[in-house]
Amino acid sequence: MTKERIYLFDTTLRDGQQTPGIDFSVEDKIAIAAMLDEFGMDYVEGGYPGANPTDTEFFTKRRTQQAAFVAFGMTKRAGVSASNDPGLNALLAAKSDAICLVAKSWDYHVEVALGCSNEENLENIRASVEAVVPSGREAMVDCEHFFDGYKANPAYAIACARTALEAGARWVVLCDTNGGTQPPEIREIVSAVIAAGVPGANLGIHAHNDTGQAVANSLAAVEAGARQIQGTLNGIGERCGNANLVTLIATLALKKAYSNRFETGIDADKLQELTTLAHAFDELLNRSPDPQAPYVGASAFATKAGIHASALLKDPRTYEHVAPESVGNLRKVMVSDQGGKANFINALKRRGITVAKDDPRLDKLIEIVKEREATGYAYEGADASFTLLASRILGTVPDFFHVESFRVMVERRFDANGHLKTVSEAVVKVIVDGEVMMSVAEGHGPVNALDLALRKDLGKFQSEIADLELADYKVRILNGGTGAVTRVLIESTDRTGARWWTVGVSDNIIDASFQALMDSIVYKLLKNRDRVGLIAAE
């Protein structure tokens, strides 16, 4: 049976840019467009040329090799010809393969926002599309607020869609701009539009996530006949975001309800890069990936309940709806006080440590983990620290160095210019191969000073940690008061791109931080010797 093609339209660089706190530079847009293009998106919408300097510069040249590069803008204004409309002329001047025109399709908006008649709005749509088609660019029209417009005036909303199609638009995209339409409504209305003469092969869906159903609404539209899906990477967008293309791509490819009927431009090899794409985009945004994101989150294929882990060891299909490898993710059995022996055996095996179920050292490890987690440690969030703990109990960690003592001083004083300043200084005494070394460092706060001093001189190991960087530092107070127990989590990375988390717990924040710093360095030295497994270094 021949499968029908679903076209993927990415609007991360346009609609996604409306996300609070996100402001792409031209360089950001170039990098993201390349990621999307290389991954295999059919359309990459780059922004609104003429509306701002960034987008205008971005469209001075074509930014994709395979994907259609799309410029976005409005239909012409009422009372002005298409040839004299500056906004439309800016679109036609952009170096794009396609032009997406946004048009009003709710008669209430036509009256209030545009201040023109319904007939004038239809003429604006028609004339704008007819201006794009001769330029050789693919024309498409986003029917803004289409579903609200259909509920208010079905005949007019459909007239807007049909006008766009008859004028030559390749795609007519039905937008759930407010994000409040429900999947059964989407299915019913898309079916009605098709019945009214707009073929599904020319219909797209643009869903917002205000009720948490943008993905469901997009799939409902596909089931009803729409063949283009618009969305963004990781579902970014204004308010609650847009349809998450990452989730949609995996669902279309891996769920038989869709994969038996449809195909996209993403083949099985590219699908295995989905997790990398999602995480690389978050890194570019300088934010942590959502650990519970469907398919690609760090916890998407993680379990911590002992009975679940035991079943996973026998057959992963018992608790996994798809194979993690199919989207480039990893199976992860968490280590926690809820875990049974199966969790620990599997966790150790993934780190290259084989231990028998009846080995007394395993019982000791489980006992220590549960005791420590009861006092505040969180090994499920600090895989590197767990690896070190397990290796130490099993007697496999070299004694690289020994910290004999450390001292941290914080002084608040006036400098020579009379300005009040706070200075942090740390002193660390380290022994390597019997040689005592003392290092002193100032830093931006006591933890930074301690980190700099600790890593200042490790003797023969110093060159091995030259590329070690602390990527993140998190502090959590586990109970109230100034004498509270504190948990510190530190994320580290090196030039290989590997990232690992370590943990420290103490009623002294400096001591907790030092524990995590020590674990990070020792883990790095073990990693350099290929002594740690894949999961721990993810």
In this structure, the strands spanning 4-5 and 171-176 are unpaired
Name the token pair of 125: 């749509």
Nearest to 184 by CA among 215, 217, 157: 217
Is the entire prediction scored with pTM above 0.85? no
Look at the domain 4-254 and name its fold.
Answer: TIM Barrel (3.20.20)
Name the token pair of 116: 């023109």
DSSP one-letter code for 113: I
Domain with CATH 3.30.160 in the chain: 401-457
Q: How many other C-beta atoms are found inside a 10 Å radius of the C-beta of residue 212?
A: 10
Crossing angle for the helix pair 245-254 and 214-224, to the nearest 10 degrees: 50
396 within 8 A of 365, measured Cβ to Cβ? no
Task: Provide the pLDDT for residue 376.
Answer: 85
Q: Which residues contact 504 (CB under 8 A, 6 or more apart)?
A: 487, 488, 490, 511, 512, 513, 514, 515, 516, 517, 519
> Which mean pLDDT values do the consecutive 10-residue runs of the chain (538 residues) have?
95 97 93 96 97 96 98 96 96 98 97 95 98 98 98 98 98 98 98 98 98 98 98 98 98 98 96 90 81 92 60 60 89 55 70 81 87 81 86 85 94 89 94 94 92 92 92 80 80 87 92 95 91 40
Nearest to 47 by CA among 66, 22, 78: 22
Q: Helix, strand, coil % (nearest 5) of the chain? A: 45, 20, 35
Q: What spatial distance separates the first Cα and last Cα of the chain, rounded to whole Å?
A: 41
CATH 2.60.40 fits 401-457, yes or no: no
63 within 8 A of 33, measured Cβ to Cβ? yes
User: How far is Cα 179 from Cα 176, in angstroms, rounded to an integer?
Assistant: 5
Name the token pair of 364: 């000791």
Task: Provide the pLDDT for residue 314.
Answer: 53
Domain with CATH 3.20.20.70 in the chain: 4-254
User: Per residue in 409-447, is it b (16+ CB within 10 Å) or e — as a string?
Assistant: eeeeeeeeeeeeeeebbbbbebebeeeebebebebeebb
474 within 8 A of 411, measured Cβ to Cβ? no
